[in-house]
Amino acid sequence: MMRVSVTVRYSLDGKEMCLQAHTVAVNVHGAMICAGQSIPADTPLDLEHKMTRERIAGRVTRQAQQSPDGYLIPVEFVSPSSNFWRISFPPSDWKPIDG
């Protein structure tokens, strides 16, 4: 779990939209973001990391769920990015030690 402020840019019915949000959880494939409004499933978008100003393309993977804090929106990057969130993830072949 990690909270990062992001700006979400997308088009809806031909209109350019810009939405402020924050992450609830992140990984190399995308994030769960929380925003004040929903974005339809399968909507292409760009996420901008507010600290680094880096942008990455992605899409909403399924319908947002309403929560007390806003709408939880699952976002998947077009291509995995191990560096976008500026944290170290375990290697893809990592397995916990049983014991």
**Amino acid identity of 89?**
F
Q: What is the reported pTM?
A: 0.86
45-60 CB burial, b ≥16 within 10 A, e <16:
bebbbeeeeeebebbb
Q: What are the tens digits of pLDDT across the range 44-67?
A: 999 999 999 999 999 999 999 999
Q: How far is CA 23 from the centre of its chain?
A: 6
Confidence of residue 89 (pLDDT cuts 50, 70, 90): low
Average pLDDT rounded to a whole number, residues 86-97: 68
List, in sequence order, every residue forming a beta bridge with 35; answer none if it has no partner: 21, 71
